[in-house]
């Protein structure tokens, strides 16, 4: 099955030549990705990867990028963080219908990751909730990828927080 997802990276200063990056990515097996280098110091790779599972697709892509550009730092794996408009488009309803659905099921609708003028949810949480309700066109492949990407983003943040905590504790002890 083909899985579609995007990996966004921050690049080291030494990895700024777009032609060299594209060549290295191709040699490392990322020839199934569209490469975006529009923002200085950033790299976005939109993969459409054939694999036995979403987990295999994402983990092999992460490994291929690491092999091609060892200094690249993962910023975000998507689709994971979404607004109501994003979800509405995926399931074929209007944003207003999605909002009404959320408000009608305030106690069971997944809690947002961020609340504010624009709330943000984990896509996997909302798609799983919709699938549990029935009657919505939830693509199983998209749900699988969203679940894997949620875990990738959470693991990335856990590593970042653990590193920051270790540095803070070392400073207190020293």
Q: Could you tell me the CATH number of the domain that includes residue 71?
A: 3.30.70.3400
**Residues contacting residue 27 through CB under 8 Å, at least 6 positions apart:** 68
Same domain, 16 and 68: yes
Output b/e per residue, 103-118; b: 16+ Cβ within 10 A: eeeeeebbebeeeeee
Angle, vertex CA 24, rays to CA 18 and CA 25, nearest 5: 90
Between CA 167 and CA 174 the distance in angstroms is 10
Same domain, 86 and 58: no
| Mean pLDDT taken over the chain | 93
Q: How many domains in the chain?
A: 2
Return the higher-pLDDT residue of 65 and 164: 65
Same domain, 38 and 21: yes
Same domain, 95 and 170: yes
Per-residue pLDDT, 173: 77
Strands 73-78 and 42-50 come out as unpaired
Question: In which band, very low, low, confident or very high, does the pLDDT at 174 lie, cut at 50, 70 and 90?
Answer: low
Same domain, 90 and 69: no
pLDDT at 54 over 80: yes
**Residues contacting residue 64 through CB under 8 Å, at least 6 positions apart:** 25, 28, 29, 30
pLDDT at 74 over 80: yes
Same domain, 167 and 88: yes
Full domain range(s) for residue 29: 2-78
Single out the residue in 21, 45, 78 at which a domain terminates. Answer: 78
Same domain, 74 and 90: no
How many CB atoms neighbour CB 94 within 10 A?
12
Per-residue pLDDT, 127: 97
């Amino acid at each position: 099955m083909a899985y579609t997802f995007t990996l966004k990276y921050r690049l080291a200063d030494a990895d700024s030549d777009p032609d060299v990056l594209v060549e290295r990515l191709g040699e490392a097996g990322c020839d199934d990705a569209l490469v975006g280098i529009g923002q200085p110091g950033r790299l976005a790779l939109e993969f459409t990867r054939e694999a036995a599972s979403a987990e295999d697709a994402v983990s092999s892509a992460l490994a291929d990028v690491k092999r091609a550009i060892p200094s690249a730092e993962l910023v975000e794996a998507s689709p994971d963080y979404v607004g109501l408009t994003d979800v509405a488009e995926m399931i074929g309803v209007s944003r207003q219908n999605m909002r009404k659905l959320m408000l009608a099921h305030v106690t069971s609708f997944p809690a947002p990751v961020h609340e504010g003028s624009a709330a943000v949810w984990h896509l996997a949480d909302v798609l799983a909730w919709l699938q549990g309700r029935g009657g919505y066109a939830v693509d199983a492949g998209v749900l699988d990828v969203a679940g894997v990407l949620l875990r990738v983003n959470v693991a990335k943040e856990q590593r970042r927080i653990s590193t920051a905590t270790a540095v803070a504790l070392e400073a207190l002890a020293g």
